């Protein structure tokens, strides 16, 4: 659970949402406020997407190429393939 909150940016997105709520509570609705809330919504969506990618990686499912988890997953797959090829060469001897 700690990995999801801190590594994905969800904690930062929630705290910035609280700060945004406090700042816009008594202010009139302007285009700047709308853009601020839109930006916060995008931040939350990206944090939730990162959590989904972490979860998929834990289950062994493939993640999209633009995910922050993708390079780690690629390295892990490459290492496993290399170990498999080495075992095949050793078995052929």
Nearest of 72, 37, 29, 81 to residue 53 by alpha carbon: 72
Residues 36-73: tens digit of each pLDDT: 999 999 999 988 888 888 888 888 888 888 887 888 88
What is the reported pTM? 0.71
Residue 25, CA atoms < 13 Å, CB-side half-sphere: 6
* Tokens 């705290």, residue located: 15
Percent of the chain with pLDDT over 90: 28
Q: What is the mean pLDDT of the chain?
A: 86
Task: Sketch the domain layout of the chain as residue ranges.
Answer: 2-92
């Amino acid at each position: 659970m700690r990995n999801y909150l801190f590594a994905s940016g969800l904690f930062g997105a929630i705290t910035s949402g609280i700060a945004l709520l406090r700042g816009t509570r008594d202010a009139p609705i302007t285009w700047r406020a709308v853009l601020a809330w839109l930006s916060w919504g995008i931040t939350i969506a990206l944090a939730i997407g990162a959590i989904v990618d972490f979860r998929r990686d834990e289950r062994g499912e493939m993640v999209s190429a633009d995910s922050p988890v993708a390079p780690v997953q690629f390295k892990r797959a490459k290492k496993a393939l290399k170990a498999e090829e080495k075992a095949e060469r050793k078995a052929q001897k």
